[in-house]
């Protein structure tokens, strides 16, 4: 159900006209941590609205408030975190999860849920990657849009965050992300653009950081030019909590609502600026209109009573967590893969503290107080029998350092106990993962390795039993290259929410076929990552020198080895993709490409394949990634079943952001359309020819000879200047500004004549 605005535009205008300046300013900042201010007086009734975190579950604090997850909140379903939801590659499922989140929001009388996050996972060390969906803007944007559509279908608003270029937690409140225009448009904004234009979030939250020197909260280019003027969005921009440094500058730039409360201090700044004539009251009125639109959009839903089915939402959380699990490897041992487990579970032992103390969500403002919590150990015992033996193997450190002789002794005895249990067991399920202290909002990781204590257990266990299945939990990618030879099967489960324990057992037993795919590359080594050496910056800035080569774009373009590529994930069946076709139509910004492929379940179990469409521009005037994801579809198939999947790509799938003309440009020529199962496992590639836009810059007297030669009007005029030159001289001349050769007297005409030719050439192109 989507509520329609209950107040007419006329009534809004009347209201804006009848509010005092002080009242209008007050509407644009918080009353407390989670409420906006209202106005109640003769003839005016504007309710305060409540907003709360967060992306994977409601965190409504009963009283008072903080934004660090310290204060407890009312119980709510803890759905899988974004790193898990991203790995489902399933927009329909995410819309259902969004609808459940929206219903819980509504049932709690809350108007806006503060999520989802659409920041790109630039580096696996970002402490908040568990709150983000992918390293790829198409996947991230489409999945964020799906969540938003679901949330808002319940009549409450979503808040797409953190806009923009907030890709690290280190120094997040001050750091300036120094990013070039192409990377900004093609990677970092593209994720938000897809989400905004495909789902119309009712609010967008600006980030804390600066972008190229300007705080996001005061960034007119981002908040007004891009968001509203280019993307046509009409929602409310809310600050991240405490992100406003200069309220008047922020308002002028397009930030509507400052959160949380400033105790009236910054409201007074706004009033004073209007009275002093330094701030146009029309700016305040515009923000008030945006605020009233949000109230109008949400008021009916918040006022209508609602309840939700706790069991049904838990079941949905379980379904989503199972769909998110990525089977990284499943090598045969004694002729057969270890997974799925034999149905009776005979001989299975469970090791690893995470099996009974699950890691299922991240720390910080997104911390949910779950309605219940499943553990894998309980779920496995329920599935295959109470007698499944268990040993913790290691302790999960609670602080960032654990040390001391006592800890070492404990570690030795825990390890010995685990090895004893593994020795002679049929199959060992070893639950490893990142301790909660390793990843959180507010700080980054410094390593992507699993803790040594856990790797020692793995090595010792593998020495006595080769049948080891590692089940990983964690909000970000961990390196596997140094240890995976000890584990023929590895299942990455991310932070799967409150039902993660039962969901992982569904996958291990084969009750649910694994269908998750990596939404982020797993590198071989931390030092291979694109931002190595730059992340997280120093002295208040962080350089984005890798530019557009983020995630798999980096590894594939540089042909670097990876542990597991973007898009990778195994199932319990096999698939074939064939009959790949790609047909281009139209030209330039009107170009479209129709792609289709047949996918067949060639194994003997049901399963789902994610068909991925990549596009590359092998011969481009600018540097372009080897290939980029442009579309995908998750297809569930019975054994032997085939389906044709079709995709319609628009010109953006071919375009790059022209950094001088400042617009999307399709360069004419060949493109390679590939369809496959990961960025490295391509079933087929089709070469297409597309007529492009004119991507050349306007000509001038400083244009080079080769640039002028490429032009129909100027070419014939400058051709005689280079006719007959020796090859070396010709190469040199081609790259020289024409006016220099004219000044050398090589043209037989003067610079004024050159200017006239250039003018004619530009006029002919216009």
**What residues are labeled active site?**
240
Q: Give the residue ranges of DSSP H helices in 486-643.
A: 500-509, 552-557
- In this complex, which beta carbon is closest to ligand BGC, that of residue 259 or of residue 273? 259
Using rule CB under 6 A, residue 671 touches ligand BGC: no
Q: What are phi and psi of 45, to 5 degrees?
A: -140, 90
Q: Residue 656: beta bridge partners?
A: 665
d(CA 599, CA 646): 11
Residue 9: partners with Cβ closer than 8 Å, 6 or more residues away:
none
Interface residue with ligand BGC among 161, 247, 329, 486 (CB under 6 A) is 161
- In this complex, which beta carbon is closest to ligand BGC, that of residue 365 or of residue 454? 365
Helices 751-765 and 714-722: crossing angle, nearest 10°?
Answer: 140
Q: What are phi and psi of 423, to 5 degrees?
A: -60, 115
Q: 67: alpha, beta or left, given left = phi > 0 and alpha = psi -120 to 50?
A: alpha
Using rule CB under 6 A, residue 163 touches ligand BGC: no
Interface residue with ligand BGC among 35, 67, 553, 677 (CB under 6 A) is 67
Contact 313, 104 (CB under 8 A): yes
Helix (H) or strand (E) holding 634: strand 628-637
d(CA 430, CA 233): 48
Take residue 708 and report the two structure tokens written for it: 């002028």
**DSSP label at residue 704:** B
d(CA 546, CA 548): 6
Binding mask 359-388 toward ligand BGC (x if CB under 6 A, else -) reads ------x-----------------------
Q: C-beta of 679: minimal distance to ligand BGC in Å? A: 29
- In this complex, which beta carbon is closest to ligand BGC, that of residue 123 or of residue 617? 123
Contact 649, 613 (CB under 8 A): yes
Q: C-beta of 718: minimal distance to ligand BGC in Å? A: 56
Q: Could you count the other beta carbons within 10 Å of the beta carbon of residue 720? A: 11
d(CA 594, CA 351): 49
Please choose, from the candidates 271, 243, 272, 245, the residue with its C-alpha nearest in 3D space to the C-alpha of residue 259. Answer: 243
Q: C-beta of 138: minimal distance to ligand BGC in Å? A: 23
- In this complex, which beta carbon is closest to ligand BGC, that of residue 25 or of residue 82? 82
Q: C-beta of 533: minimal distance to ligand BGC in Å? A: 26
Q: C-beta of 241: minimal distance to ligand BGC in Å? A: 4
Please choose, from the candidates 535, 166, 240, 495, the residue with its C-alpha nearest in 3D space to the C-alpha of residue 363. Answer: 495
Q: C-beta of 53: minimal distance to ligand BGC in Å? A: 5
Q: C-beta of 67: minimal distance to ligand BGC in Å? A: 3
- In this complex, which beta carbon is closest to ligand BGC, that of residue 34 or of residue 632? 34
Binding mask 196-235 toward ligand BGC (x if CB under 6 A, else -) reads ----------------------------------------
Using rule CB under 6 A, residue 241 touches ligand BGC: yes
* Positions 444 through 473 that interact with ligand BGC (CB under 6 A): none
- Cα radius of gyration (the chain): 29
Q: C-beta of 267: minimal distance to ligand BGC in Å? A: 20
Q: Three-state SS for 91?
A: helix
- In this complex, which beta carbon is closest to ligand BGC, that of residue 365 or of residue 427? 365
CA 513 to chain centre: 25
Helix (H) or strand (E) holding 763: helix 751-765
Interface residue with ligand BGC among 186, 240, 258, 556 (CB under 6 A) is 240
Q: Give the residue ranges of DSSP H helices in 304-391.
A: 310-324, 376-384
d(CA 2, CA 301): 9
Take residue 76 and report the two structure tokens written for it: 């709510």
Q: C-beta of 62: minimal distance to ligand BGC in Å? A: 15
Please choose, from the candidates 664, 663, 646, 647, the residue with its C-alpha nearest in 3D space to the C-alpha of residue 655. Answer: 664
Pairing of the two strands 592-601 and 575-585: antiparallel
Take residue 36 and report the two structure tokens written for it: 């906006």
- In this complex, which beta carbon is closest to ligand BGC, that of residue 117 or of residue 488? 117
- In this complex, which beta carbon is closest to ligand BGC, that of residue 241 or of residue 360? 241
- In this complex, which beta carbon is closest to ligand BGC, that of residue 53 or of residue 186? 53
Binding mask 307-346 toward ligand BGC (x if CB under 6 A, else -) reads ----------------------------------------
- In this complex, which beta carbon is closest to ligand BGC, that of residue 240 or of residue 609? 240
- In this complex, which beta carbon is closest to ligand BGC, that of residue 118 or of residue 284? 118
Take residue 666 and report the two structure tokens written for it: 């399709």
Interface residue with ligand BGC among 24, 25, 50, 53 (CB under 6 A) is 53
Binding mask 85-124 toward ligand BGC (x if CB under 6 A, else -) reads -----------------------------x----------
Size of the site for ligand BGC (CB under 6 A): 8
Task: For residue 162, say if its preceding peptide bond is cis, omega within 30 degrees of 0.
Answer: yes
Q: C-beta of 30: minimal distance to ligand BGC in Å? A: 11
- Based on the number of CB atoms within 10 Å of its own CB, is 744 exposed (0-12), middle (13-18) or buried (19 or more)? exposed
Binding mask 615-654 toward ligand BGC (x if CB under 6 A, else -) reads ----------------------------------------
d(CA 250, CA 30): 15
- Residues of 8-45 as b/e, b for ≥16 C-beta within 10 angstroms? eeeebeebeeebeeebbbbbbbbbebbbbbbbeeeeee
Q: C-beta of 194: minimal distance to ligand BGC in Å? A: 20
- In this complex, which beta carbon is closest to ligand BGC, that of residue 240 or of residue 628? 240
Q: Give the binding site for ligand BGC (CB under 6 A).
A: 53-54, 67, 114, 161, 240-241, 365
């Amino acid at each position: 159900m989507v509520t329609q605005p209950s107040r007419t535009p006329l009534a809004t205008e009347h209201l804006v006209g009848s509010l005092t300046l002080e009242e209008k300013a007050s509407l644009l900042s918080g009353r407390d941590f989670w409420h906006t201010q209202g106005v109640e007086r003769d003839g005016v009734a504007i309710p305060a609205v409540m907003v709360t975190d967060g992306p994977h579950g409601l965190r409504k604090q009963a009283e008072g408030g903080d934004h660090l997850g310290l204060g407890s909140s009312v119980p709510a379903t803890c759905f899988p975190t974004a790193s898990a939801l991203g790995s489902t590659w399933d927009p329909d499922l995410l819309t259902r999860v969004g609808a459940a989140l929206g219903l819980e929001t509504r049932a709690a009388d809350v108007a806006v849920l503060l999520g989802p996050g659409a920041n790109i996972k630039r580096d696996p060390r970002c402490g908040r990657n568990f709150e983000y969906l992918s390293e790829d803007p198409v996947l991230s944007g489409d999945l964020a849009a799906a969540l938003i559509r679901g949330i808002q279908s319940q009549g409450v608003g979503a808040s797409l965050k953190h806009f923009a270029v907030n890709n690290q937690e280190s120094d997040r409140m001050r750091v300036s992300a120094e990013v070039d225009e192409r990377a900004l448009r093609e990677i970092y904004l593209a994720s938000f653009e897809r989400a905004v234009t495909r789902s119309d979030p009712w609010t967008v939250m600006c980030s804390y950081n600066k972008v190229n020197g300007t705080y996001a909260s005061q960034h007119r280019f981002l908040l007004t030019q891009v968001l509203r003027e280019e993307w046509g969005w009409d929602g409310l921009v809310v600050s991240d909590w405490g992100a406003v440094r200069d309220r008047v500058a922020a308002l002028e730039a397009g930030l509507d609502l400052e959160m949380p409360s400033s105790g009236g201090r910054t409201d007074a700044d706004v009033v004073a600026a209007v009275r002093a004539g330094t701030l146009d009251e029309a700016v305040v009125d515009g923000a008030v209109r945006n605020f009233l639109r949000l109230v109008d959009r949400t008021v009916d839903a918040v006022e209508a009573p609602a309840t939700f089915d706790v069991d049904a939402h838990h079941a949905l959380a379980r379904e989503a967590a199972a769909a998110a699990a990525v089977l990284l490897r499943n090598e045969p041992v004694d002729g057969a893969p270890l997974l799925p487990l034999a149905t009776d579970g005979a001989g299975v032992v469970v090791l690893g503290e995470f099996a009974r103390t699950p890691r299922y969500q991240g720390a910080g403002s997104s911390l949910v107080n779950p309605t219940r919590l499943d553990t894998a150990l309980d779920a496995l015992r329920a599935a295959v029998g109470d007698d499944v033996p268990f040993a913790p193997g290691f302790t999960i450190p609670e602080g960032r350092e654990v040390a001391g002789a006592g800890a070492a002794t404990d570690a030795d005895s825990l390890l010995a106990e685990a090895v004893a249990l593994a020795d002679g067991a049929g199959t060992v399920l070893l639950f490893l993962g990142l301790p909660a202290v390793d990843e959180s909002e507010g700080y980054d990781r410094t390593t992507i390795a699993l803790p040594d204590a856990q790797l020692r257990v793995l090595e010792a266990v593998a020495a006595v039993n080769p049948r080891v299945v590692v089940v990983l939990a964690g909000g970000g990618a961990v390196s596997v290259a140094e240890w995976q030879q000890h584990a023929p099967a590895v299942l990455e489960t991310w932070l799967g929410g409150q039902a993660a324990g039962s969901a992982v057992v569904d996958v291990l037993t084969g009750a649910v076929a694994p269908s998750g795919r990596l939404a982020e590359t797993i590198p071989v080594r931390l030092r291979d990552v694109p931002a190595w050496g730059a992340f997280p910056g120093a002295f208040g800035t962080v350089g984005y020198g890798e530019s557009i080569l983020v995630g798999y774009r980096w590894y594939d373009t540089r042909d670097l080895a990876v542990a597991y590529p973007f898009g990778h994930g195994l199932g319990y069946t096999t698939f074939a993709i064939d009959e790949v076709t790609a047909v281009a139509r139209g030209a330039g910004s009107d170009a479209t490409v129709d792609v289709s492929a047949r996918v067949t379940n060639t194994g003997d179990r049901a399963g789902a394949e994610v068909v991925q469409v990549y596009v590359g521009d092998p011969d481009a005037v600018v540097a372009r990634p080897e290939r980029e994801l442009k579309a995908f579809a998750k297809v569930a198939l019975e054994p032997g079943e085939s389906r044709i999947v079709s995709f319609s790509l628009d010109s953006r799938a071919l375009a790059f952001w022209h950094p001088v003309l400042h617009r999307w440009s399709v360069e004419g020529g060949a493109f390679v359309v590939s369809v496959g199962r990961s960025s490295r496992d391509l079933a087929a590639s089709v070469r297409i020819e597309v007529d492009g836009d004119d991507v050349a810059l306007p000509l001038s007297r400083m244009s080079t000879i080769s640039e002028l030669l490429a032009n129909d009007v100027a070419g014939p005029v400058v051709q005689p200047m280079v006719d007959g030159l020796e090859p070396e001289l010709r190469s040199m001349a081609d790259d020289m500004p024409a006016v220099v050769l004219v000044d050398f007297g090589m043209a037989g005409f003067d610079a004024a004549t050159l200017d006239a030719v250039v003018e004619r050439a530009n006029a002919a192109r216009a």
